[in-house]
Amino acid sequence: MSTQQTAGPATSAHPGVEGGIDPRGPQFNAAVTVVVLVVILATAGGVVGTVLTAVQTALFVWGAAAGVTKTPHAEVFRSLVRPRLSSPDHLEDPAPPRFAQAVGAVFTGVALLAFLAGATTVGEIAIGLALVAATLNAVFRFCLGCEIYLLIKRFTH
């Protein structure tokens, strides 16, 4: 079990979930993402904005494919932030944040294609929507992608 965003199983909000994560990890990830998305909007239509959009898309794909505890953001959280915090009061299921990473990849992927096609306004709108979701998570620990995941799960089971 990784030490990054995990704690003892007794504190898990999802007792049957193996490898619950510290909910502050995805919140940290969202805060970093907010900064990147703001820079993308400030440089949209240019080379810097397009390259940053490609990098952010790749990071979202990485989080969706490998899991939120396997990303560069998670490594920074695990090594620099987590040691300075108390133990989390609960652990969360990693599946909803992983789904949220896939949703982020879709929005930034659309933005990347739009920027490459010269449709800067479409790209800015897609980045703006991703920025709203990341800000909600970073500031209020409200993960919009996670809520969508839970709604889908509720309606399909």
Hey, where are the domains in the chain? 22-156
Maximum CA pair distance of the chain? 52
The Cα 25–Cα 92 span in angstroms is 10
Phi, psi torsion values for 147, nearest 5 degrees: -65, -40
Average pLDDT, the chain: 91
CB 71 within 8 A of CB 62: yes
Q: For residue 18, what pLDDT is reported? A: 60
Q: State how far the alpha carbon of 133 is from the alpha carbons of 28, 100, 144, in Å.
A: 14, 9, 6
**Does 4 have pLDDT greater than 50?**
no
pLDDT-derived band at 70, boundaries 50, 70, 90: very high
Against a cut of 0.75, is the pTM above it? Answer: yes
pLDDT of 11 higher than 50: no
Which residue shows structure tokens 């479409």? 122
- Residue type at 155? F
* Whether the predicted pLDDT of 126 surpasses 90: yes
